[in-house]
Amino acid sequence: MDLGVRAPLLVLGLPFAAFLVLAVVAPLRRAGRAAGAVSILAAAVAHVAALGVWRDGARRTATWAWIPADGGPMATVGLLVDPLSSAMLVLVTLVSLLVQVYSLAYLGDERAPALGRYYTYQSLFAFSMLGLVLSPSFVQMFVFWELVGLCSYLLIGYWYERPSAARAAVKAFWITKLGDLGFVVGIVMLWGATGTFEFQALFTKAQEHALAIEGLGTIMFLIYLGAVGKSAQFPLHVWLPDAMEGPTPVSALIHAATMVTAGVFLVARAQPLFALTPDVLTLIGWVGAFTALLAASMACVEGDIKRVLAYSTVSQLGYMMAAAGAGAAYASVLHLLTHGLFKALLFLGAGAVIHVVGTNDIFRMGGLFRVMPQTGVLFIVGTLALAGLPPLAGFFSKEAVLAGVWEARMTWPFLMLALTAFLTAFYMFRVVFIAFFGRALAPGHPHEAPWLMRGPLWLLAVLTVLVGLRLGLAGGDAHHGPGWLAPASVALALGGILLAWATYQRGVVDPARLAGTFPLSLLDFLARRRYGLDALYDGLYRGFILGFSRLIGWIDRYLVDGVLNFLSAWTLRAGDLVRRIQSGQAQDYVYGVAFGVLLLFVWAQWWRR
Amino acid sequence: MTLEAVSFWVVAAALVASSLAVVLTPNLFHAVLYLAAALVATGVVFLLLDSPFLFGVQLLLYAGGVVTIVVFAIMLTERLVGERIAQTSRYVVHGAVVAAAVFVGVAGFLIQVPLGGPRPSLPGDLTPVIGRALVGPWAATLELLAVLLVVALLGALYFARTED
Amino acid sequence: MSLYGYLTLAALVFAIGLFGVLTRRNAIGILLGIELMLNAVNINLVAFARFRADVAGLVFTLFTISITVAEVAVGLAIVIAIFRVRRTVEADRLDLLRG
């Protein structure tokens, strides 16, 4: 094993070691903050190592045989280090580290054992996500894919005493499983057609045009289904807003920056394979753009700050998917990385607000800028980045996405994305104006969050700005679209900001009247009901699953049990009848023997002939 | 009528009479004595069938051994040779009908089968032949029988021992 | 005397023994009936052995007699054991197995 493989192995191994230590050494876990220190230490060292891997920049693979089979192992485990995975390593370890530090303050009031449990899950999640990113084959990726799903379930349900959190955890688990079903079937079908799970082997075949197999479109569609579930694409996006029942740092890490981008990562990773099936790519692009628009419209009417951010995440994931579908994998991953930074910033900022105000409802916040100016500034930085204003990171990645979609000649998805850009600026500044500048006064005595929370915020904000500047200076990239694109997207963002300002700050436009005019009123009606999708799934679940269960229950209770009860009752009765034969007197039995002998006589004499 | 036929009828009559006495007499002790008589009569039947060795075995084991054991058992369970030694029977009619039915069944089969024919002449004394058969083809059975007797002995000891 | 005579005699003794087994109340009486039945069987065996000129019947008779002795010994031991516990050997009162 050369040195180049040791560093990524270290990145992967440290969180796992932390998880093992916390899981096995119960006293340490129950100590709470000490457990946090272990987990944070592991994440910090892993981050440094990840930075080293990233700077090194070399492509490396290392595999070890795993599932033995005739003629070489059927599957391997290993590491695949390339620019894509090393960038993801840096993002995952960074956000993971910051979120864990932040959680020390955010969850400071938790009981120590619960806090230890939280950090155990966090370490497991970091390990799983890193393993997913480093996977050199579909099988390993699927294993870690399910592991992150498990961690997501555990962390959403962290406050499992709350029924809503438990329900949300189960919902997230099942809905992502729906997509995973397609994923695993697709992997197995792909293996059946090609005989390998390895990315490298598959890509080589794809380049040599040796992958013209029957039904590749179906296979890639099934694999894409996994990404639909994980990355909350329409129509499986419903679990992500509910996942906000988890602690806010969890939402920042798992449901904004890392896990939900796994689907985008999958599409980017398997880009050479998807490139062979343009139909599936087009579908990905359309679904992505539609998801972006749909989620943005729902974010406009949402009053819960975390759910606004959740819908915004769904929307931005749609952006990434649209770019991937347009063949602009670079733009997709770039947006993934920048979005990971500023969305984590936004979530952590929102967490700081929630921490001091004690509510998620933006209409019960107000004037917060005056009492917590630092958080306000940081939140606005994140918002500007999300809205896509230069020179922040979001501007460049969003523009790259739009350029990619435009160049792929996907006009309608492009228009949807452009409209989404406008809506994004609008709904984000709606939150900013209402929560930070609104006239309503927040309850209690809001104050600046502790440094443990503000530190990660500052770091993320600075990184958002720096990455933006870096991208701006690197400028002359081949991925720039037509010249009018940059000004147009800035104009769209500014328009959204202006509308939000006019509506919620100046009061020039009455939001109620705006929502009341005809085409918007219909949209408002639908968006407030989440386009009926949740109700639809609920109905399907109730009507179908519960109905079926009731049928099964009836069969069990009345048919199966009935037959058994009938049998047992009659066995008892028959036994009661027959037991009288057993007199217990030996001579009566001798009579029985004698009668048997006589019967034998009769049989031998007459019946046998 | 030959001497053999005469002696058969006499012995048969004695055997049936003593057997009936065994099952009909109310006195248990008398029943045992009648049983001894029936066993001796059976031995004589063996003698008529040219098996003097079996006659001897019958007398020694049955008439000697079994009857003695039974007498001991009666002494142990009836305490006094007195009133209680009388025994009664139950459902005499039922028993008679069933027993008669069994007899009629067996006899019915007997008359259907051609069993006539003279008795073959004997080569000589059969006792050495029995002895050789016992240690020849039936040696394994003989050993098993020995085991059975030992087990029966132990079983009888176990059942009859006092509880202390 | 032909084989018929011996077999009929044996059948008669067997039936008488069966009658005793069926009707006696006293456990020892029942055992006496069983002895009679076994004797009848022995007569059969010896008769067949004689008329078929086959020594196996004689050997079987020897075995039967020995087994009968063992059976009587065990049976009487059981009777004594029962008597110790129940103070009776009346078969109709021994109905612990009644269903």
Please report which helix (H) or strand (E) contains residue B132, including its range: helix B127-135
Q: Which CATH number fits domain C3-93: 1.20.1250.20, 3.90.1310.10, 3.40.605.10, 1.10.287.3510?
A: 1.10.287.3510
Check whether residue B136 and residue B97 sit in a common domain.
no
Check whether residue B39 and residue B96 sit in a common domain.
yes
User: Please, which pLDDT band fits residue B164 given cuts at 50, 70 and 90?
Assistant: low
Check whether residue B61 and residue B138 sit in a common domain.
no
pLDDT at A1: 44
pLDDT at B80: 46
Q: In this structure, are residues B26 and B88 in contact, taking their beta carbons and an 8 Å threshold?
A: yes
Distances (CA, A) of C4 to B109, C55, C58: 11, 20, 19
Q: Does A590 sit within 8 Å of C22, measured CB to CB?
A: yes
φ, ψ at B90 (rounded to 5°): -120, 145
Q: Is B6 on the interface with C (CB under 8 A)?
A: no
For the whole model, what pTM was predicted? 0.65
The residue among A89, A87, A187, A177 whose CA lies nearest residue A142 is A187
Closest to A594 (Cβ–Cβ): which among B102, B108, B109? B102
User: What is the DSSP annotation of C27-56?
Assistant: HHHHHHHHHHHHHHHHHHHHHHHHHHT-TH
Chains that touch B (3 or more CB pairs under 8 A): A, C
Closest to C95 (Cβ–Cβ): which among A579, A580, A585? A585
Q: How many residues does chain C have?
A: 99
Instruction: Count helices and strands (H / E) in chain C.
Output: 3, 0
pLDDT tens, residue by residue, A266-303: 888 888 888 888 888 888 889 989 999 888 888 888 88
pLDDT at B16: 93
Q: How far is B105 from chain A (nearest CA, A)?
A: 6
Q: Is B97 on the interface with A (CB under 8 A)?
A: no
Count structural domains, chain B: 2
pLDDT at A352: 85
Q: Is C40 on the interface with A (CB under 8 A)?
A: no
Chains that touch A (3 or more CB pairs under 8 A): B, C
Check whether residue B78 and residue B7 sit in a common domain.
yes
Residues of C in contact with B62 (CB under 8 A): 35, 39, 65, 68-69
pLDDT tens, residue by residue, A566-578: 999 999 999 888 8
pLDDT at A487: 81
Closest to C59 (Cβ–Cβ): which among B88, B138, B152? B138
Nearest CA in chain B to C73: B156
Mark out chain A residues that contact chain B at CB-CB < 8 A. Answer: 587, 591, 594-595, 597-598, 601, 604-605
Residue C98 or A560, more confident: A560
List the domain range (segments joined by +) for residue B132.
126-164
Crossing angle, helix A393-407 and helix A411-437, to 10 degrees? 160
- For chain A, the average pLDDT equals 84
Q: Does A594 sit within 8 Å of B108, measured CB to CB?
A: no
Nearest CA in chain C to B45: C43
Q: In this structure, are residues A419 and A293 in contact, taking their beta carbons and an 8 Å threshold?
A: yes
pLDDT tens, residue by residue, A162-173: 888 888 888 888
Chains that touch C (3 or more CB pairs under 8 A): A, B
Q: Does B31 sit within 8 Å of C55, measured CB to CB?
A: no
Q: Does B100 sit within 8 Å of C15, measured CB to CB?
A: yes
In chain C, where are the structural domains located?
Answer: 3-93
Check whether residue B37 and residue B107 sit in a common domain.
yes
Residues of A in contact with B90 (CB under 8 A): 587
Nearest CA in chain A to C22: A587
Closest to A591 (Cβ–Cβ): which among C22, C94, C95? C22
- Alpha carbon dihedral A218, A221, A226, A227, in 10-degree steps, equals 160
User: Please, which pLDDT band fits residue B81 given cuts at 50, 70 and 90?
Assistant: very low
Q: Is B15 on the interface with C (CB under 8 A)?
A: yes
pLDDT at B82: 46
Closest to A587 (Cβ–Cβ): which among C22, C98, C99? C22
Q: Is residue A504 predicted with pLDDT exceeding 90?
A: no
Check whether residue B130 and residue B108 sit in a common domain.
no
Distances (CA, A) of A39 to A36, A122, A130, A149, A446: 5, 8, 15, 20, 30
Which two structure tokens, joined as six digits, stand for A575?
A: 């036994």
Check whether residue B111 and residue B137 sit in a common domain.
no
When scoring B9, B29, B49 by the number of chain C Cβ atoms within 10 A, the one with the most, hence best to mutate, is: B49
User: What is the DSSP annotation of A533-570?
Assistant: HHHHHHHHIIIIIIHHHHHHHHIIIIIIHHHHHHHHHH
Residues of A in contact with C18 (CB under 8 A): 590, 594
Q: How many angstroms separate the CA atoms of A418 and A95, rounded?
A: 29
Q: Is the bond into A443 cis (omega within 30 degrees of 0)? A: no
> Exposure of A544 by Cβ count < 10 A (0-12 exposed, 13-18 middle, 19+ buried)?
exposed
Residue A519 or A313, more confident: A313
Residues of B in contact with C74 (CB under 8 A): 152, 155-156, 159
Nearest CA in chain C to B73: C76
CATH for B22 = 1.20.120.1200
User: Please, which pLDDT band fits residue A371 given cuts at 50, 70 and 90?
Assistant: confident
Q: How far is A563 from chain C (nearest CA, A)?
A: 27
Tell me A65's DSSP state.
E
φ, ψ at A477 (rounded to 5°): -85, 155
Q: In this structure, are residues A172 and A242 in contact, taking their beta carbons and an 8 Å threshold?
A: yes
pLDDT at A480: 61
Q: How many Cβ pairs within 8 Å bridge chains A and C?
A: 35
Nearest CA in chain C to A586: C91
pLDDT tens, residue by residue, C28-44: 888 889 989 999 999 99
pLDDT tens, residue by residue, B35-73: 999 999 999 999 888 888 889 988 888 878 888 888 888
Check whether residue B79 and residue B34 sit in a common domain.
yes
Q: How many angstroms separate the CA atoms of C54 and A519, rounded?
A: 117
Q: Is residue B99 predicted with pLDDT exceeding 80?
A: yes
Give me the half-sphere count of Cα atoms (radius 13 Å) on the Cβ side of residue B140.
1
Q: How far is B101 from chain A (nearest CA, A)?
A: 8
Please report which helix (H) or strand (E) contains residue A75, including its range: strand A75-81
Tell me C24's DSSP state.
B
Q: Does C62 sit within 8 Å of B66, measured CB to CB?
A: no
Q: Does C96 sit within 8 Å of A583, measured CB to CB?
A: no
Q: Does C19 sit within 8 Å of B23, measured CB to CB?
A: yes
Q: Is B118 on the interface with A (CB under 8 A)?
A: no
Check whether residue B87 and residue B112 sit in a common domain.
yes
Residues of B in contact with C47 (CB under 8 A): 49
Write down the residue that tokens 């993002």 correspond to: A91
Q: Is the bond into A519 cis (omega within 30 degrees of 0)? A: no
